[in-house]
């Protein structure tokens, strides 16, 4: 038995930590208190996806810097065995190197896990929250898969997000009636799986084209949200695909050679209405990528002699950070971290 295996075995036998460490040792929180704080304070916790160190720093500056709780998210397809552990250490490094007046409330979350194995892998290395997306499965299979992940994750007090109803990447599919969450299935799903939060499909889509009407903002089906709330009360509900796809950045992207057709996002008014009606987590992925890439295109085109990457990365980081601060104001999450401990 190698030293590493012995270490793992000891941990399994003698402590409640998962094999490669507990998320608390990384300075992370799970999402339970964040969501109870959000429901009490009538705000939503932002879930921001990140793809590199600069985006992570920008998100942390925009959240921890204004005492907003934050859920840092990584997509399953961006993880392999090597990177999953580097991500936890990168996040820990950023948390401990910040000098905020109040302790940052940060969760590290797997976005759209598709199997028990990938959720387990993230729990085992110190993620504090995982999503298991069984929305493509028949209801009974979705329940079974989600329940298996919950049973494992809860052993280590890691939270689990499930999904009912499909949140597609293709607008025409996402807006078909059968893709919306069926409120009649929600309480059965929540009770049978013991999941901690639930992503529901109320008219958003992944990617930069979210509306069924060209160049028009998304119209959320708040009636479905009302119906779901009537059945599950104060249960944490999650809105995926919440990016606003800001016009000014679509224009910058296009001006400097990028292509993005049919861009449309969720307007801040729609987002506010959803939060008011009980959405307590909103996910942003497209906006982070769009703002970062548009800014890099602009900087590289405007400064052809500059080859030091720090110059354009710095500007992209600052713009993402500014975006995050503004979006948090829409969600009402700034200054709310103190209520989430
Ligand atoms: Zn999503």
Q: Please give the distance, rounded to the nearest whole angstrom, from the Cα atom of residue 308 to the centre of ligand 1.
A: 34
**pLDDT (average), residues 262-267:** 92
**Burial classification of residue 51, based on how many CB atoms lie within 10 Å of its CB (0-12 exposed, 13-18 middle, 19 or more buried):** middle
Tokens of 80: 């392999």
pLDDT at 1: 60
Domains of the chain (ranges, CATH numbers)? 3-339 (3.20.20.70)
Phi-psi region of 227 (alpha: psi -120 to 50; beta: other; left: phi over 0): alpha
pLDDT of residue 216: 73
User: How many angstroms separate the alpha carbon of residue 230 from the centre of ligand 1?
Assistant: 24
Report the separation in Å between the CA atom of 179 and the middle of ligand 1, taken as the mean of its atom positions. 14
In angstroms, what is the span from residue 8 Cα to ligand 1's centroid? 33
Q: Predicted confidence band at 174 (pLDDT cuts at 50, 70, 90)? A: very low
**What was the pLDDT predicted at 171?**
42
pLDDT tens column, 228-263: 999 999 999 999 999 999 999 999 999 999 999 989
Quick one: average pLDDT of 150-169? 91
User: Quick one: pLDDT at residue 79?
Assistant: 85
For residue 172, what pLDDT is reported? 47
Closest listed residue to residue 59, CA positions, set 98, 112, 113, 103: 98
284 alpha carbon – ligand 1 mean position (Å)? 8
Instruction: List the beta bridge partners of residue 67.
Output: none
Q: Is 111 marked active-site? A: yes
> pTM higher than 0.85, yes or no?
yes
% of the chain with per-residue pLDDT over 90: 78
Could you count the other beta carbons within 10 Å of the beta carbon of residue 173? 12
Which of 111, 133, 196, 287 is an active site residue? 111
pLDDT in tens, 32-88: 999 999 999 999 999 999 999 999 999 999 999 899 999 999 999 888 777 888 899
């Amino acid at each position: 038995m190698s030293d590493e295996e012995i270490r793992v075995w000891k941990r399994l036998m003698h402590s409640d930590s998962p094999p490669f460490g507990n998320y608390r040792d990384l300075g992370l929180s799970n999402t339970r208190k964040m969501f109870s704080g959000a429901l009490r304070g009538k705000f939503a916790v932002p879930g921001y996806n990140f793809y590199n160190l600069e985006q992570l720093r920008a998100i942390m500056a925009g959240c921890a810097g204004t005492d907003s709780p934050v859920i840092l998210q990584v997509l399953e397809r961006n993880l392999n065995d090597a990177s999953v552990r580097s991500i936890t250490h990168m996040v820990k490094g950023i948390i401990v190197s910040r000098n905020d007046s109040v302790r940052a409330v940060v969760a590290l979350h797997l976005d759209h896990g598709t199997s028990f194995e990938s959720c387990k892998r993230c729990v085992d290395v110190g993620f504090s929250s995982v999503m298991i997306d069984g929305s493509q499965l028949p209801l009974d299979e979705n329940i079974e898969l989600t329940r298996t992940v919950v049973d494992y994750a809860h052993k280590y007090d890691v939270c689990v997000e499930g999904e009912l109803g499909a949140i597609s990447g293709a607008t025409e599919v996402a807006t078909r009636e059968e893709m919306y969450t069926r409120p009649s299935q929600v309480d059965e799903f929540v009770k049978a799986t013991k999941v901690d939060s639930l992503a529901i499909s109320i008219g958003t889509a992944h990617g930069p084209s979210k509306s069924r009407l060209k160049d028009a903002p998304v119209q959320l089906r708040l009636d479905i949200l009302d119906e779901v709330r009537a059945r599950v009360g104060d249960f944490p509900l999650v809105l995926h695909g919440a990016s606003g796809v800001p016009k000014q950045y679509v224009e910058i992207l296009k001006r400097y050679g990028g292509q993005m057709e049919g861009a449309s996002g969720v307007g801040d008014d729609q987002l506010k209405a959803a939060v008011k009606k009980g959405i307590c987590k909103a996910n942003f992925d497209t906006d982070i990528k769009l703002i970062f890439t548009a800014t890099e295109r602009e900087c590289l085109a405007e400064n052809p002699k500059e080859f030091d990457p720090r110059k354009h990365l710095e500007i992209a980081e600052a713009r993402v950070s500014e975006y995050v601060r503004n979006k948090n104001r829409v969600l009402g999450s700034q200054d709310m971290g103190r209520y989430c401990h």
